[in-house]
Chain A
Amino acid sequence: MPAMPETAVAPTRLRAVLLAGALFTFFFAAYAFTMSADLNNNGDTNIRIAIAENLLQGHVDLKGWTMQFPLHIKKEFYDSRLWWCTNGVDVCSTYLLGQPLAIIPIDLAGSAITRHERWPLGPGVTTFDHLVGPLFGSLEAVVFFLFAVALGYGRRRSLVLTLIFAFATSVWPDEQSVLEHTEVAFFVLLGVYLAYQARHGGRGRLMAILAGAALGGAAMTRYQDAAVGVLGVAIYLLWPGMGWRRLGYLSLVGIGLLPFIGLDLWWDWVRFGSPLATGHHETLLGYAAWLGAPGLWVSPGKGLLWYSPTIFLMAPAAVPFARRFPSLAASFVAMVLAFTAFYSIITFWHGDPAWGPRYMYPVLPYVTLPLGVLFTRRWRFPAMVWLLTAIFVLAGLTVQLAAVTVSEWRGWYRVIQYEQNQGHPWLWIASRYRYFWNVHESPLNFQLRSLYQLTYDSVFHSSRYVIAPPAEEKVLDDLANNYAINQWNIWWASNEYNWWMGEQKVILGVILLLSLMLAGGTYIGAELGGLFEQPAIQVGAEPLPEAA
């Protein structure tokens, strides 16, 4: 059997499909296993679930929703998520169709299962709807693995890099948050991967059209992020050595993208009466970029570097990666810069209330994929490189573990408490938050301490670190009542499920997900460990024919 090329996923197509399936099963089960018990989220996902359910009933507006603003209200008080529909009476959401369309089949299945199980519809269906986070998170991890293999890192190193990406960067808490950034990150990454295949693999035209369609998926989820993806793909396809063939590929990307642009324009028209009306009437742009950009990258409260410290490893990896893949590196740099430039001038650049700089999470693949060169290059001081890698990966893993096991609202409680203790009454107005540059107020600081506190209370059966809101303090009281800030955030470890789902169902769910993880993990281990390779035929083992 000929040796498998370094950029091949598996020796046969069937085994490649099985490996991708096993990877998806493993990551999906792992993400579903660590799903959040918080069904309220920050409200954004619930609006998109409402859009999905209203679409199923034939409405584009949010039935039953009302919106009232006092007269002469300032624009900063406007809700960026809602606006009046064309008729001026009904309420429509500013969100695009991407996540609602992905939720619809899950909602239908979840609704049927919930009825069958005789669970209460509200929490039952919402729990299933929240699987859209693990779904796109695991798809993103699979595409990341395929991309890493295509770059020639080798399958085992690609798997290690994918595990780092999936569990030691903000991808994990991002998929757990069920916000739409995971979905858009998946589509943009798929688009870039398919563009890479168009340029380097076979069937370039088909791949270019599919890359456009993938970017279309991003465009109908968050069009601004898709625009950055288009920029990245264009740079990659055209530079260096732009020729008619490459321009043709870019045109095909545009053709693949076009139907989704049409869908976006139609969606704007049916909601707000014009193809170009987005429904955003709040003050959107105007934040100082020289404050926003460092805020997104290095501020103690929101800096992506602290939320995903593996990015520090780009210091040794960036130059070797750029030398090996110059056009891909240019494309990655352009996308990271474009994301930073755009979101740094948004008035609510921080995306709060949320965990970390959520708008920046789609750049994570492009600051993690280059780390593969750390495993492939010969270093002068390999021990130091390995030690640094281990330290930053461990730090990243700890941050993500704290983020997914403790409710982010516990950190918010502390931020608000700190602000109020400093004499600043809290208002839920995104443009007025001011905790980002104070290291004492960093949610990371609070979250890591909360991880210790909940561990302490669990191990010693104490209530030493239970948070109790002060009397007549509405903001903190609401926070403590609406979110389970005093218990573990993972669904099976909290007591938010057993009372309506039943204790046995919780245990069965845990067995189901762990079994799937183990099955997927074993297949991946066996495949990458070479267990499925045909043994080489040994001449000595052949039975000698008897003499006539």
Chain B
Amino acid sequence: MTVVRLAAIAVIFLCLGAATAAGVFAFIPNPGSPPSIFDDFKWSSISNGYWHVYAAGGTARINYSILTLHGDTIEMDHRLQTDPYRTVVVVKIRATHFGKFSIGLGAYHSTAVSFEFDVDGAKCLRPSKEGTQIDILQPWLKPPTHRWFYLMLTLTNPYPYATSLTPAMTKPVTVACSLYGAHRQLLVSHRPITPPTELHYAAIDLINMRTWDTGNNYQVDWIYAGPASGSPLPVR
């Protein structure tokens, strides 16, 4: 009986020790969000948690350093530390079959501003007091398949030097969407102003790529997100 009792006490303290050790190790902080990311899909993987991938009838595969988004719904998220002044997202993309694709900046499971590259055109989306505003940059009747494009989404902080937000700080963030052709020539750029964008710059902490609806087949060569100074394309 005594041996069993001692064994039980030993197990209890062993478990408490393991719990304490796990708690102590868990308390060592993470490195935090990266200030910029550039992924050309040469070394990253879909399954290692580098990207959060949520699929509903779609697939995300990397082959020969090309990310292919195929099928229905795919959401890929990555944490990002926004630049104090301006944050840029650029993606090199082409579609063998258009459906619905977007790059966006937002928070957990929520896209705030995005650039859609859809079957019916390229669009800039942002929140406002009147609801989501959709500005069409470039409509097309026949989607330009098998051609590379560069999509650039830019978000500028109206208060880059502020250390805290006050109710008096009502200047809106500035959103800009630019579409470049295969030779990096600017095709169209748009910076919507009215109605003002309703968004706190400080609320942004991730980038995402999404497809939805059906029949998507997009190929992404690389994606960059971070300060304008690191952008592979000149920021307008």
The proximity string for A residues 455-495 relative to B, scoring 1 for CB distances below 8 Å and 0 otherwise, is 00000000000111111100001001110111000000001
- A241 close to chain B: CB less than 8 A: no
Contacts of B193 in A (CB 8 A): none
Check A511 against B22 for contact (C-beta < 8 Å): yes
| Chain B residues with a Cβ closer than 8 Å to the other chain, count | 48
Check B4 against A120 for contact (C-beta < 8 Å): no
- B161 close to chain A: CB less than 8 A: no
Q: Report the bound CA distance from A526 to B11 in whole Å.
A: 11
Check A505 against B4 for contact (C-beta < 8 Å): no
Check A531 against B8 for contact (C-beta < 8 Å): yes
- B169 close to chain A: CB less than 8 A: no
- A512 close to chain B: CB less than 8 A: yes
Q: Which of B16, B73, B109 is close to A480, meaning CB atoms less than 8 Å apart?
A: B73
Shortest Cβ distance from B99 into A: residue: A471
- A509 close to chain B: CB less than 8 A: yes
- B52 close to chain A: CB less than 8 A: yes
Q: Which of B56, B107, B212 is close to A467, meaning CB atoms less than 8 Å apart?
A: B56
CB distance from A507 to the nearest CB of B (A): 9
Check B52 against A495 for contact (C-beta < 8 Å): yes
Contacts of B215 in A (CB 8 A): 471
Q: Which of B19, B26, B72 is close to A468, meaning CB atoms less than 8 Å apart?
A: B72
Shortest Cβ distance from A40 into B: residue: B109
Contacts of A519 in B (CB 8 A): 11-12, 15-16, 19
Check B30 against A523 for contact (C-beta < 8 Å): no
Contacts of A206 in B (CB 8 A): none
- B1 close to chain A: CB less than 8 A: yes
Contacts of B57 in A (CB 8 A): 466-469
Q: Report the bound CA distance from A249 to B12 in whole Å.
A: 42
- B49 close to chain A: CB less than 8 A: yes
Q: Report the bound CA distance from A502 to B23 in whole Å.
A: 15
Check A481 against B49 for contact (C-beta < 8 Å): no
Contacts of A116 in B (CB 8 A): 27, 29
| Chain A residues with a Cβ closer than 8 Å to the other chain, count | 49
Check B18 against A525 for contact (C-beta < 8 Å): no
Check A468 against B49 for contact (C-beta < 8 Å): no
The proximity string for B residues 87-115 relative to A, scoring 1 for CB distances below 8 Å and 0 otherwise, is 00000000000000000000111000000
Q: A499 with B8: in contact, given A470-B214, A508-B22, A511-B18 (CB under 8 Å)? A: no
Q: Which of B1-53 contact A (CB under 8 A)?
A: 1-2, 4-5, 8-9, 11-12, 15-16, 18-19, 22-23, 25-27, 29-33, 49-53
Shortest Cβ distance from A513 into B: residue: B19
Q: Report the bound CA distance from A116 to B54 in whole Å.
A: 27
Contacts of A104 in B (CB 8 A): none
Sampled A-B contacts (18; CB under 8 Å): A118-B31, A467-B56, A468-B71, A477-B73, A495-B53, A499-B51, A499-B78, A508-B25, A509-B26, A515-B19, A516-B15, A519-B11, A523-B8, A526-B5, A526-B9, A531-B4, A531-B5, A531-B8
Which positions in A face B, CB cutoff 8 Å?
39-40, 116-123, 466-472, 477, 480-482, 484-486, 495-496, 498-505, 508-509, 511-512, 515-516, 518-519, 522-523, 525-526, 531-532, 535
14 additional A-B pairs beyond A471-B215, A499-B52, beta carbons within 8 Å, are A40-B109, A117-B30, A121-B205, A468-B71, A470-B214, A477-B213, A495-B54, A499-B51, A508-B25, A508-B26, A511-B18, A515-B19, A525-B8, A526-B12
Which positions in B face A, CB cutoff 8 Å?
1-2, 4-5, 8-9, 11-12, 15-16, 18-19, 22-23, 25-27, 29-33, 49-58, 71-73, 75, 77-79, 107-109, 205-206, 212-215
